[in-house]
Structure 1
Amino acid sequence: MLVTYLEASRDLCEKDSILFGAALAVCRIIGAKVSTAGRDTGQSSAIPAWRRRIEKRIAKARALIGHRTDRLICFRSGNNRPRIVRTIRMAFAGTNVSLSQPDITQKLTERIDDLKQRIAAWGKRIRRYTERSTRFNQNRLFQSDQKRLYESLE
């Protein structure tokens, strides 16, 4: 059956997919574990790695801000429960700020503002690159096929 499919396939990519499918089927039949980590899944490669890293940083910073603003209010009012103190410490991870300082609430507010500015900068970086990439692709399409460019713009 495999020979029939391989003879009917036209290009190397199609042959690769057929062979991979056959190997995967054999591994499932014999019960062997298969790692598909090196295999290109399509969706993950569509988004560049640098962009995924920046989006992950943005998500972490947003999570920090979300938790901290609620707990900042509790901390300001004198609530020193372990969970609240732990989240406040996490906000200052990597900085030389201790919770025993007298102006800790001001420092926490500054830290939240700093995180918001970083989120804005990362978002602008992604937006700038996306716009540049779109312009580049449109210029290339204009040189090769103007009709397709104008159809895509509609």
Structure 2
Amino acid sequence: MHCFFAELEPSIDVTEQNLADRVRYIMRSKIFDDAELERLRRQGIPSSNESTMAGDAAPHSTDKHPHVKAAMNLPVVVDSNDDEIVSHELKQMRSILEEAILETRSTPLENRPRLPRIPLSKRNRAVVRALNPMLVTYLEASRDLCETDSILFAAAVAVSRIFGAKLPMAGRATTQSNAIPAWRKRIEDRIAKARALIGRLTSFRSGNNRPRIMRTVRMAFAGTNISLSQPDITQKLTERIDDLKQKIAAWGEADSMIFRGSRRFN
């Protein structure tokens, strides 16, 4: 729409976003009725008969769109500062783009992979500039906004594949949403270790003096002045066990609070 507007009104300097905002305002505010909009549309856009007389109006017409014709003339040097993109690379890029478009059309929206960050470089810019003219044919044949979004996402996937970036498999987004959050896993690990330590301390209090139990008990009282041979060691063990149980209860409450907050946020 912006390119077409620039051809109609070359003296008016307007950005793509500004133009889109003005069109949305006109459509929502009902400044013009349907008849007036249709009249303006006929004035701005040539009729189908004129387009037919001018030539083939199919999306694959290269005379109507010089960008497509430029993409077909090989080799192409995108920028004087960029590396040259030779003919076999352009053919391979077009093949990757077509494959990505077919895959994206058959992939549900929630199963699309997360796109990685692409570093900026002269070579990467050259690849993107070479792919842009190839999209003209697909975008003009697009029937609605969903298909346009699918084409643009497929182009981003194609760019990532050309650069060699790793993309997750289809369905990874759904798998990630069902995975255990990192904060919950940390809390569960703390609770599991505390319960294991309580079991060892209880076993030692009952008279189990096996080397593994003794080693765990010494580690539990490391950094303190408590000795396993002192008379009130049983009381110290009970206090340590009660302290661990209180920590487990506190961690469990924290897990519930974070879960409730996360659910409210979602």
TM-score bin (small chain): 0.5 to 0.7
Letter matched to residue 48 of structure 1: P
Q: Which has the larger radius of gyration?
A: 2
| Alpha-carbon distance change, 101 to 12 in structure 1, aligned in 2, over 3 angstroms | farther
Match of 2:192 among 54, 59, 62: 59
Task: Please give the alpha-carbon distance, in whole angstroms, between the structure 2 residues aligned to 1:59 and 1:7.
Answer: 47
- What is the aligned partner in structure 1 of residue 220 from structure 2? 91
- What is the aligned partner in structure 1 of residue 101 from structure 2? 7
Aligned residue pairs, count: 117
- What is the aligned partner in structure 2 of residue 50 from structure 1? 183
| Alpha-carbon distance change, 81 to 60 in structure 1, aligned in 2, over 3 angstroms | closer
Q: CA deviation at 1:69?
A: 1.5
2:238 maps to 1:109? yes
2:206 maps to 1:73? yes
| Alpha-carbon distance change, 12 to 3 in structure 1, aligned in 2, over 3 angstroms | closer
Q: 1:51, 1:126 within 8 Å by CA — same for their partners in 2?
A: yes
Task: Please give the alpha-carbon distance, in whole angstroms, between the structure 1 residues aligned to 2:223 and 2:156.
Answer: 50
- What is the aligned partner in structure 2 of residue 128 from structure 1? 257
Which sections of structure 2, spanning at least 5 residues, go unmatched? 1-94, 105-149, 167-171
TM-score normalised over the length of structure 2 = 0.36
The RMSD of aligned alpha carbons is: 3.6
Q: 1:56-89 CA deviation, whole Å, 9 max, x = no partner?
A: 11111011112222232015xxxx4433322321
Higher helix share: 1
> Which has the higher mean CA deviation after the structures are superposed, 88-97 or 58-67?
88-97
| Alpha-carbon distance change, 84 to 136 in structure 1, aligned in 2, over 3 angstroms | closer
Task: Please give the alpha-carbon distance, in whole angstroms, between the structure 1 residues aligned to 2:238 and 2:156.
Answer: 57
Task: Please give the alpha-carbon distance, in whole angstroms, between the structure 2 residues aligned to 1:74 and 1:123.
Answer: 30
Which sections of structure 1, spanning at least 5 residues, go unmatched? 25-38, 138-154
Q: 1:72, 1:88 within 8 Å by CA — same for their partners in 2?
A: no
Q: CA deviation at 1:104?
A: 0.9
TM-score normalised over the length of structure 1 = 0.58
| Alpha-carbon distance change, 124 to 53 in structure 1, aligned in 2, over 3 angstroms | same
Q: 1:99-126 CA deviation, whole Å, 9 max, x = no partner?
A: 1322111101110110010000000001
Task: Please give the alpha-carbon distance, in whole angstroms, between the structure 2 residues aligned to 1:134 and 1:13.
Answer: 34
Q: 1:65, 1:115 within 8 Å by CA — same for their partners in 2?
A: yes
